[in-house]
Structure 1
Amino acid sequence: MDQVIIGFQLDEERHWVARLACGHYQHVRHQPPWQNRPWVTSYQGRASMLGKELTCVKCLENAPRDWN
């Protein structure tokens, strides 16, 4: 299920996490060749992704919200 990105924050290991409109968090790492997300590495790149959609695996699994 696709969900809108409404913000970003760093987790305790200093990895970027997207905050999704559904109430879930999702890591958005740039780790080629597995995950190619160069936009994560800069403020401008992350800002350009606000309002875009990511597939939320937690929604697909009917997981409880990570935040309210």
Structure 2
Amino acid sequence: MAKVITNTLKKLRFFNNEMTQQELASAIGVSRQTVVAIEKGKYSPSLEVAFKIADVLDVTIVDIFQYR
């Protein structure tokens, strides 16, 4: 069975003062549509964007993304 990257981005945004997709997108320098695609698992962010997301949410990359 092929492994896929999953994420908990939506949940982590909610627990971070209910941050909107647009607020996260602005903070990391991408479009809201990119955040939507990442949350839905339709797009895997670059390592740089993944680190930016983790930094903004004050968590580790492993807290956000899983490879299963």
TM-score, normalised to structure 1, is: 0.32
- Greater strand content: 1
- Greater helix content: 2
Bigger Cα Rg:
1
